[in-house]
Amino acid sequence: MNIRLTHTGCISSKEMSAFLCQYFPPAKVRFLEAHGNWWHGGDNNRLVIMVDEQIAAYCAIIPTRIGIAGVVRQAIWWVDLFVAPMFRGLGLQSIFNQEVLKRTEIKICFANELAARIHQKHGWFLREDLNVLMLPLKPFHINKVKRSQGLKKLVYYGLALGLNPWTARHRQRALRFQSMNAREDFNPNADILAGVFERAHTSNECTTYRNWDFFQKRYFNSPLRDQYHFYTHGDPNIPSHYAIMRLLDIQNEKVSRILDLYGDFQDQKSLSTLVNFVVSECVRLGANQVTILVSLPEIQKTLRAAGFILRSKSRFCWFTDHPEVDEALSSSSYWTLADSDNDEPGVRW
């Protein structure tokens, strides 16, 4: 049996597509085929294991930079680890793990419960105190309710029925919300957004390093640019906070994701005003639900007050040989749906 590690640049696009189509959702396959180089920063960041010249496993990384203890460090998000069922038990996951750990960057990822336990066995650290919060706006149109079957369908429809009167009132309140200090920025630029980060970021907070290059690549050069909405609070030229929302239209159902929310998190009044303004915009645009990833208690409090009442757990893992990095990531860290592959095509939540 011949086992070798390579990357997608050395595999025919037809063969790679056939493998992905067999195991990944169609929307994600189409996205990777069209925009995989942008998403992962090159084919060399999309790893493949061949067994006797047959694709047996796949994973990928997303390069990033994070601020840790006042120092900007290179890091990689590890995503999409998958081993085809007929090749499991051959140690292919360990081959990927060894290859990724050879890299000098800090290794980080979000993982489901099973993957998190496997990462722990390989020496990764784990935090389980992150949450994805959802604001239900039209309960019967929420993705999870519509896709449910059997007993779950009865349970979810019962919950939707109970939530429906509350959400109707909440939509009306949101539509009446007005603010002189919050607005949608129809001509956003990377300089203004990076300025918010520069003024608000503290050295004891671990988070993605949001400089001009980050905003330009992640949002303004994105093939999904027309789906993003940008909002700011305060002086339009020197805002105190910003929010970036993505509106998806999937099978005639609209879903909103707050990809990033940043600013002075101690200024709860301004933060609350911006969040409520974004919610009002999501209602006006016809969204069925709004989701956001939160990792700081002060933000979670503001979001719950704004109607984000449903919660699911998110797990954050990392690997490092530097004790100071481990200590920092174990304390105050801030991650969003714009990080890693949280904002993948289709709807996860």
Average pLDDT per 10 consecutive residues for the chain, totaling 349 residues: 95 96 93 93 96 96 94 96 96 94 95 90 92 96 86 90 96 96 97 98 93 97 95 97 94 92 96 98 97 92 96 95 91 94 70
Q: Which two tokens stand for residue 227?
A: 């789906």
- For 3-104, the fitting CATH number among 3.40.50.1820, 3.40.1280.10, 3.40.640.10, 3.40.630.30 is 3.40.630.30
Adjacent-strand bridge partners of 108? 77, 318
CB 173 within 8 A of CB 307: no
d(CA 336, CA 346): 17
Phi-psi group of 99: left, alpha or beta (phi > 0 → left; psi -120 to 50 → alpha; rest → beta): alpha
Closest CA to 265 of 224, 233, 217: 233
Helix (H, G, I), strand (E, B) or coil at 234: strand
d(CA 127, CA 213): 28
d(CA 200, CA 241): 9
pTM here is: 0.95
Query: Does the 132-315+324-334 domain belong in CATH 3.40.630.30?
Result: yes
Residues in contact with 112: Cβ distance below 8 Å, sequence separation at least 6, in sequence order: 315
Radius of gyration of the chain (CA): 21
d(CA 81, CA 87): 13
Domain ranges in the chain are 3-104, 132-315+324-334
Residue-level pLDDT at 349: 44
d(CA 225, CA 259): 13
Closest CA to 346 of 8, 90, 13, 32: 32
d(CA 60, CA 318): 16
Residue-level pLDDT at 346: 59
DSSP structural state of residue 11: S
Render the burial of 222-238: b for 16+ CB within 10 Å, e for the rest: beeeeebbbbbbbeeee
Angle 111-117-122 from CA coordinates, rounded to 5°: 100
CB 111 within 8 A of CB 81: no
Two domains, one topology: 3-104 and 132-315+324-334: yes
CB 192 within 8 A of CB 177: no
Residue 343 has phi, psi (to 5 degrees) of: -95, 45
Residue-level pLDDT at 309: 96
